[in-house]
Chain A
Amino acid sequence: MKTTYREAVRSALRHALRSDPRVFLMGEDVGRYGGTYAVSHGLLDEFGPERVRDTPLSESTFVGAGIGAALAGMRPIVEVMTVNFSLLALDQIVNNAATLRHMSGGQLSVPLVVRMATGGGRQLAAQHSHSLEGWYAHIPGIKVVTPGTPADAHGLLLAALREPDPVFVFEHGYLYPLEGEVDETAGASEIGRALVRRAGGDVTLITYGGSLPKTLEAADRLAADGIDAEVVDLRTLRPLDTATVLASVAKTHRAVIVDEAWRTGSFAAEVSARIMEDGFYDLDAPVQRVCSAEVPLPYARHMEEAALPQPDTIAATARRLVQGRG
C-alpha cells in the first residue's frame, strides 16, 4: 500500500497503542494539536488523554518522566519536537536513560522510545534544522535509528518498541510528505541492519535518513553517465552495520558518504574510519564525504539549498572519484 512517511509513523503508533496497553504517547502538542508535524493527528480522539498526553514545554521534564514510566514498567513513546530542542533533555538522556542498566548491574531497564524530527530543507532556520543524530550515536546504552523510507518509519518504530533499552528514532522532517510502499502487516523491522537500496558496481554511496532520496536521485544521474552506483542505507547509526558497508566497498572499491550533518566530527567520519580500519586494502580511491556547509543552517531558501548536500553535489563527488582526472 502506498502511503506517506507521516502516515506510516502514525500507523505504527496506532498499532502499538492498540496492541499493548503499556504504550502511551506524550510530547508537546501531540494531543489536541495533532502533533507539530501532524503525525499524531486523530490519535487523541481514538485513544483518549490518558494515552495521548500533551506536555509542558520542558523537554527535560517530559523525557525524564518517560524514563521514569519506562522504569516502572510502561512502554512510553516520547515525541520531542526537533533534535535542536532535545538538547534540553540531554542530561536525562545521557546520564539516566543510557546508564541505568549498567549502573544497576542489569536490575533496571529503560524501554523508552524517543521520536524526534531532524534535518533541514524546510526553511525552518538554524534553531530547527540541524542534524544532530550523530551526537546521539556517540552514546553507548542507547540505540539510534534513522528511517529513510515510509516502510522503515513503520517497521523500525515497531522494532524500537520491542527493545528493552532506550531507542531514539530520528524522523527527517523533509521525509514526512514523501510516499512509499508500506506493508502494514510486515511488523517490526530489524534494528542494526543496513540495506542496499540500489545495487551497483562502480561506487558505493553510503547514507541514511533524509539524504536517502537525494542519494538515490544522484545514483540515477550517475547512471545516465554510465556510472553504476550502489546505495547503502545505514538505517541504524548505533549499532552500526559495518559488515554491509564493507561488503559493498569490497565490491565497488570506492565510497562516498552522504551525511547532512557538518563534516567536522560527523557520523560520516565514523563510517569513513571504519572503512579505513577494515576495508583499506579494498579501496581504489580515497573515501569522500558530502556533508553540510559548516554554518548554522540559513533561513533563505537558496542559501539553505546551497548549504545542504544535494543530488548534484553527491553525483559530482562520485563522478570525480570514479573518473579520476581522466
Chain B
Amino acid sequence: MPILGADMVAGTLIAWRKQPGDHVSRGEIIAEVETEKGLIDVEAFVSGVVERLVVEPGATVPTGTVLATIREDAGAPAAPAPEPIPPAPAPGRRARVSPLARKVAEQLGVDPDTLQGTGPGGAVTREDVERAAAAPRPAPAVARPRGRVDLARMRQTIAAAMARAKREIPHYYLAHTIDVQPALAWLAEENARRPVTGRLLYGVLLIKAVALGLREVPELNSVWRGEHAEPSPAVHVGVAISLRGGGLVAPALHDADKRSVGELMHALGDLVQRARTGGLRSSELSDPTITVTSLGEQGVETVFGIVYPPQVAIVGFGKVTERPWVVNGSVVARPLLTVTLSADHRVSDGHRGGLFLSAVDRLLQAPERL
C-alpha cells in the first residue's frame, strides 16, 4: 500500500486491474485504492509478471503492506509489489490488539492495527473495533461511485498534515508584486491563434515560470528526509485543486519544467478533471516536489501557503488587479499580481527565496520563451 500523502496511514483496496499471470509494465495501473483523497489508481513500480495478489478487494490495510508480488522481468527475483515509495512499517512492534478484538475485527472487516486502543496498556479492545465498525463509513467500497471523496476523512488528513507542517517546519514568508501586462498581452495574442480547445489560461504560465525558476534555486525543489533535504532532479509541481464540497488535493504535473505550456495546459485540465471525479494516479499524489496554490479567482490579492511535508516550499498567487504602477518614471495603470513564497528555513534562506521570486518575475516578462 503506497503512501499517497504525508499522513496517510492506511488505504482500502477497491479493485485489481491485473490478475496473477498478467504482465505489467512500470507505470501501468495495477490496482485501484481508496484513500482520504478519493479513488487512486496505483501504478506498478517495476515491470514483470504478477505472481500473487495478497490483499483482497475491500480490505483496508496500513501503508507499507504488501499488496501483490511481481516477478520482475529478465528473471529477477520477485519483489514486493507496487510501491512508489518504500514502505515504512513500524519496525518490530506489533500493535496491541486483544485476541477477541482481532477476531471481531476480522468478522467486521475492520483493520484493528489502524485503531487507537482504549484498553489496558492502550490495547485495542472489542469495543474499539465495534465502534470503528459502527462509525459512519463510506458505503461498501466496491459499490461506491468513482470520485466520491470522504470529506470528513480528508479534513482530518489536511488537519494532520498542516498541524505537522506548522509544528515542525520553521516557515519564512516572502511576497513580491509582478507586472503581468506583458504576460497577459502575449497570452491574448497566443490564444487568438489557438483553437478554442487549445487555449491557455494564465495559470499555466505561472506554473511554468515557477518550474523554470526552480532550476535557478534548486534547494526549494527538495524533499525533506527527516534530517536533511534532498534536492529533486525532476520538477514535479503539485497544483492545489479545491474540490466541490470542500477539501483539496495537490497532485503533480510531472516534469513541469520540461513541457511546453500547451502540453501543461492539457495536462492541467486532465488533472483537475480527475481530481474532481476520481482516478488520480498514485505517482501524482506521491511525487510533487513543490506546490503552487492560487486563490486568484476568488478575489484575494495575496496568499501565503503552508508547506506540505515532505516538500520544503509552496508558491502562492493572488488575483490580478489593475493598480497604479510606475513604469519609466510615469504612473500608469497596470495588471499586477502578488506572488508569495512560504519556505522551510531549515533548507533555504530569505535571500535565496528572494532570488527565486525575482526569477519568476523575470521569466514572466518574457512569456514567449516559457
Contact = CB atoms under 8 A, between A and B. Distances in A.
Interface of A: 253, 280-286, 320-321, 324-326
Nearest to A326: B118
Given A253-B126, A284-B125, A325 B100 contact: no
A316 to B, nearest CB: 13
A284 B120 CA distance: 10
A321 B98 contact: no
B99 A325 contact: no
5 contacts: A253-B98, A281-B102, A281-B103, A321-B120, A324-B122
Contacts of A324: 117-123, 125
Nearest to A279: B99
Contacts of A282: 99-100
Interface in B56-115: 98-103
Nearest to A283: B99
Nearest to A325: B122
Nearest to B122: A325
Given A324-B123, A324-B125, A283 B100 contact: yes
A284 B130 CA distance: 12
Nearest to B124: A284
Given A253-B126, A324-B125, A285 B103 contact: no
Contacts of B101: 284
Contacts of B126: 253, 284
Nearest to B96: A286
A326 B120 CA distance: 9
Nearest to A253: B100
Majority SS at the chain B contact face: helix
Contacts of A253: 98, 100, 126
Interface in B105-151: 117-123, 125-127
In the A-B complex, the 3 residue pairs with the closest CB atoms? A324-B119, A284-B100, A284-B98
Contacts of A285: 98, 119-120, 123, 125
Contacts of B102: 281
A250 to B, nearest CB: 9
Given A285-B123, A285-B125, A280 B99 contact: yes
A285 B120 CA distance: 7
A325 B118 contact: yes
Contacts of A321: 120
Contacts of B120: 285-286, 320-321, 324-325
A281 B100 contact: yes
Nearest to A324: B119
B121 A325 contact: yes
Contacts of B118: 324-326
Contacts of A284: 98-101, 119, 125-127
A280 B99 CA distance: 6
Contacts of B127: 284
B101 to A, nearest CB: 6
Contacts of B99: 280-284
Given A281-B99, A283-B98, A283-B100, 8 more contacts: A253-B98, A281-B100, A284-B125, A285-B123, A324-B120, A324-B121, A324-B125, A325-B121
Nearest to A276: B99
A37 B99 CA distance: 47
Question: Chain B CB within 10 Å — which of A280, A285, A321 has the most?
Answer: A285
B65 to A, nearest CB: 23
A29 B1 CA distance: 77
A253 B118 CA distance: 15
Nearest to B119: A324
B102 to A, nearest CB: 8
Nearest to B97: A284
Contacts of A281: 99-100, 102-103
A280 B103 CA distance: 10
A51 to B, nearest CB: 55
Contacts of B100: 253, 281-284
Nearest to B101: A284
Contacts of A283: 98-100
A280 B119 CA distance: 16
A320 B123 CA distance: 13
A153 to B, nearest CB: 37
A315 B326 CA distance: 82
A165 B118 CA distance: 50
Nearest to B125: A284
Contacts of A320: 120
A165 to B, nearest CB: 37
Interface in B323-342: none
Contacts of B121: 324-325
A35 to B, nearest CB: 46
Contacts of B103: 281
A122 B80 CA distance: 67
A243 B100 CA distance: 18
Contacts of A325: 118-122
Interface string B282-306: 0000000000000000000000000
A45 to B, nearest CB: 58
Question: Chain B CB within 10 Å — which of A282, A283, A284 has the most?
Answer: A284
Contacts of B98: 253, 283-285
A323 to B, nearest CB: 9
A284 B97 CA distance: 8
A153 B117 CA distance: 45
Contacts of A286: 120
A168 B100 CA distance: 37
A286 B121 CA distance: 10
A283 B101 CA distance: 8
Interface in B8-66: none
